[in-house]
């Protein structure tokens, strides 16, 4: 089955900047989108985990997607996070994202109520068949409590609109099984596993690290695709400590803290996420300083 690839390279799982009063700062968001494109990012992923989708209300969610589509203006794909643990709401949000001009959808596995593997097939097919635009499945069991098994991915790939999976389970063996079972495009959902997943045929990464190092993350994938395996590996290992530091607390707490410390002014996370503990903040500061990324350095 031949399907069109949504993007190849490094897509940024973009943060949603907040004003001091907790309202999404759409003007700053547009500036971040512009900066990302200028610095090599291959796709904008909006309203994902890093974008705090779980605490955006409906109007905010669609406003952020609209801002991403308008600012990107077709230069790179916009992938809208429209997953939900309520299938009907996921359908509605996906239809709205399509109407706003999103190029593809990112659909997380249902969280809290979870689902059986049979339920996952019915859920994802229902949204994909309603929206009728490319769908990237999002497998992140550490956040949702449910894993999409390789056989289930292969079954879902039979749907003409389901074209890819963001694999953030951390399980390279299962990712390899997915690659063996079907031709679905795979994107690493963990920055520390980008090159290992590229070695299994992945098309790139949906990256948290790209929020602060878009060019370097792009280059890591681009070098691999150009056959420069050693160069790609060198970038992966060079920034491994920084990538890991961005997960020393619950995402997106560390990356927002890091961006603010770098002078990128993205504001706070929304409750129940809060500022990092003092120990984590000190560690992030130390790592940023080590890489010369603290503001004023």
Q: Of 166, 203, 239, 256, which is the active-site residue?
A: 166
Half-sphere exposure at residue 230, Cβ-oriented, CA atoms within 13 angstroms: 0
CB atoms within 10 A of CB 38: 11
Output Rg (C-alpha) for the chain, integer angstroms. Answer: 18
Q: Of 29, 66, 98, 138, which is the active-site residue?
A: 138
166 has catalytic annotation: yes
Residue 151 in tokens: 């056989």
CB atoms within 10 A of CB 4: 8
CA 61, 64, 69, 70 dihedral sign is: positive
Distance CA 106, CA 120 (A): 14
Establish whether the linkage from the previous residue to 272 is cis, with ω within 30° of 0.
Answer: yes
Distance CA 284, CA 99 (A): 39
Asked if residue 98 lies in contact with residue 131, where contact means CB atoms within 8 angstroms, the answer is yes
SS3 category, 139: strand
Q: Would you name the residues annotated as active-site residues?
A: 138, 166
């Amino acid at each position: 089955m031949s399907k069109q690839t949504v993007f190849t390279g490094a897509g940024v799982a973009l943060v949603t900047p907040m004003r001091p009063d907790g309202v999404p700062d759409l003007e700053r968001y547009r500036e971040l989108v512009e900066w990302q494109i200028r610095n090599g990012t291959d796709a904008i992923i909006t309203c994902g985990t890093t974008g705090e989708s779980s605490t955006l209300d409906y109007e905010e969610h669609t406003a952020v997607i609209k801002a991403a589509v308008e600012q990107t203006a077709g230069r790179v794909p916009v992938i809208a996070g429209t997953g939900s643990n309520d299938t009907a709401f996921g359908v509605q949000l996906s239809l709205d994202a399509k109407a706003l001009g999103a190029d593809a959808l990112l659909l997380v596995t249902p969280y809290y109520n979870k689902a059986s593997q049979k339920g996952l097939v019915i859920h994802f097919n229902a949204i994909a068949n309603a929206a009728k635009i490319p769908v990237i499945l999002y497998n992140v069991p550490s956040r949702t409590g449910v894993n999409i098994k390789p056989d289930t991915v292969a079954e879902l790939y039979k749907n003409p609109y389901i074209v890819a999976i963001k694999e953030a389970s951390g399980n390279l063996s299962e990712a390899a099984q997915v690659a063996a079972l079907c031709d679905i495009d795979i994107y690493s959902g963990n920055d520390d596993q980008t090159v290992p997943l590229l070695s299994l045929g992945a098309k790139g990464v949906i990256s948290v690290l790209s929020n602060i190092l878009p060019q370097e993350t792009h280059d890591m994938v681009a070098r691999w695709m150009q056959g420069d395996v050693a160069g790609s590996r060198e970038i992966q290992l060079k920034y491994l400590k920084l990538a890991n530091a961005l997960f020393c607390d619950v995402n997106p707490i560390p990356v927002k803290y890091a961006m603010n410390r770098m002078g990128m002014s993205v504001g706070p996370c929304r409750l129940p996420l809060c500022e990092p503990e003092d120990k984590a903040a000190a560690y992030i500061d130390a790592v940023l300083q080590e890489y010369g990324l603290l503001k004023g350095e």
